[in-house]
């Protein structure tokens, strides 16, 4: 009997201890906000934030030293996670506030054609809306940046995701942005999602360059470049290739391939056989890409049909088009 009583007592004490631990875990306080150089978060939270921390630290290490951007991430601090629908709504409202800052590119296509990262200015959403309404001639024009951002956030943001406050500096002036993320890293931030760099794998070749055939089956790479995050990681890639077959001194087949992808945004590339002759073949091609604040579209005209690309909206975007020739 004494043994049974002792066993029951120990069981009761163990149950009480387990209940206390569970309550303690359920009522753990939110971590105190820390800047990017402080690591005061508890180990479990650190593990969940590791991906975004790496992206933000890399932005400070690499993006801050890029003279083409002229933009510095000064610090960042973690905020409470989005626990419920009301938190999600508040985060969206903060990002879509008329005073929120967003990068706006002017004549970005010219810089991209010259294999340079284009320059941008920083405007509030209210200012960028006014700017986009002045440019309504492009096909697929986005009415304003807030429309594109709102649509994207509606699809991507949900309870359970994290948020961080980012402090930026440009030309001696500081401003903040709200960064939303999950275990894979960035979901959206007005600055991080709309600033980019370009890494062209064909720096020594022009997109319309002619290529001399040296074999019966020949493929030329028309263009191949990475769209990169401000922290240096690959964000997207676009490739167009042109292939022919020739036999008995004449070209018999003319074809191409085009691939494109981009995260936190969209990208596409098109190609079509343009001209096929005995001694030369031509491929018409075009590509477009844009972040959630911009858009692109393709059009076809002429005989033979030529492909063109148009971009519109604010934020990051790019397009290109041309005709590639392979000759015997």
pLDDT score at 3: 45
Written in H, E and C, the secondary structure of 103-157 is: EEECCHHHHHHCCCCCCEEEEEHHHHHHHHHCCCCCCCCCCCHHHHHHHHHHHHC
Going by the DSSP 8-state scheme, the letter that residue 216 receives in this structure is S
Residues 181 and 191: their CA atoms lie apart, in Å, by: 14
CA dihedral 157→145→148→116, nearest 10 degrees, is -100
**Separation CA 59–CA 255 (nearest Å):** 41
3-class DSSP state for residue 56?
Answer: helix
| Residue extents of the structural domains in the chain | 33-196, 200-327
Phi/psi for 260 (5° steps) reads -160, 140
Instruction: Give exposure, 123-135, as e/b (b: 16+ Cβ within 10 Å).
Output: bbbebbbebbeee
Give the pLDDT score at 216.
85
Exposure of 238 by Cβ count < 10 A (0-12 exposed, 13-18 middle, 19+ buried)?
A: buried
pLDDT of residue 18: 35
**Going residue by residue through the chain (328 aa), what tens digit of pLDDT does each one get?**
444 444 433 444 344 333 333 333 333 233 333 444 434 444 445 555 889 999 999 999 999 998 888 999 999 999 999 999 999 999 999 999 999 999 988 766 677 666 677 788 999 988 877 665 655 443 333 456 788 889 899 999 999 999 999 999 999 999 999 999 999 999 999 999 999 888 888 765 444 445 566 668 899 999 999 999 999 999 999 999 999 998 888 999 999 999 999 998 899 999 999 999 999 999 999 999 998 878 899 999 999 999 999 988 777 888 899 999 998 8
| Alpha-carbon dihedral sign for residues 34, 149, 141, 296 | positive
Which pair of structure tokens corresponds to residue 204?
A: 């020594």
- Per DSSP, 293 falls in state T
- Beta strand ranges found along 229-305 (DSSP E): 234-247, 250-262, 266-276, 280-290, 294-301
CA-CA distance, 160 to 259, in Å (whole number)? 34
For position 85, what pLDDT does the model report?
Answer: 95
Residue 272 burial by Cβ neighbours in a 10 Å radius (0-12, 13-18, 19+): middle
β-strand 317-327 against 173-182: which pairing, if any?
Answer: unpaired
Longest dimension (CA), the chain: 104
Whole-angstrom CA distances from 106 to 94, 98, 122, 196, 222 are 26, 21, 11, 14, 26
Scanning the structure block, which residue is given the tokens 């709200």?
Answer: 178
How many Å is the Cα radius of gyration of the chain?
26
- H or E segment at 326? strand 317-327
Residue 276: per-residue pLDDT? 96
Question: Rounded to the nearest 10 degrees, what angle do helices 125-133 and 145-156 cross at?
Answer: 120
């Amino acid at each position: 009997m004494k043994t049974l009583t002792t066993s029951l007592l120990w069981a009761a004490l163990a149950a009480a201890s387990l209940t206390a631990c569970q309550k303690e875990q359920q009522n753990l306080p939110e971590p105190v906000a820390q800047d990017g150089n402080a690591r005061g978060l508890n180990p479990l939270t650190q593990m969940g934030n590791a991906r975004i921390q790496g992206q933000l630290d890399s932005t400070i290490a690499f993006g801050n030293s890029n003279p083409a951007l002229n933009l510095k991430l000064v610090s960042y601090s973690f905020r409470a996670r989005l626990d419920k629908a009301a938190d999600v709504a508040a985060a969206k409202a903060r990002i879509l506030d008329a005073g929120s800052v967003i990068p706006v590119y002017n004549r970005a296509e010219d810089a991209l054609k010259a294999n340079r990262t284009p320059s941008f200015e920083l405007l509030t959403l209210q200012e960028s809306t006014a700017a986009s309404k002045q440019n309504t001639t492009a096909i697929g024009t986005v009415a304003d940046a807030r429309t594109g951002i709102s649509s994207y956030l509606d699809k991507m943001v949900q309870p359970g995701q994290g948020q961080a406050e980012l402090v930026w500096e440009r030309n001696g002036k500081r401003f903040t942005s709200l960064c939303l993320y999950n275990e894979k890293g960035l979901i959206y931030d007005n600055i991080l999602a709309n600033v980019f760099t370009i890494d062209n794998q064909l720096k020594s070749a022009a997109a319309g360059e002619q290529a001399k055939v040296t074999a019966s089956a020949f493929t030329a790479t028309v263009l191949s470049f990475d769209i990169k995050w401000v922290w240096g990681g690959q964000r997207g890639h676009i490739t167009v290739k042109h292939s022919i077959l020739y036999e008995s001194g004449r070209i018999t087949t003319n074809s191409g391939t085009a691939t494109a992808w981009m995260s936190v945004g969209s990208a596409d590339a098109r190609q079509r056989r343009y001209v096929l002759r005995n001694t030369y073949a031509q491929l018409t091609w075009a590509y477009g890409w844009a972040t959630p604040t911009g858009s692109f579209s393709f059009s076809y005209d002429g005989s033979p049909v030529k492909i063109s690309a148009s971009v519109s909206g604010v934020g990051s975007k790019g397009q290109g088009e041309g005709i590639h020739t392979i000759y015997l």
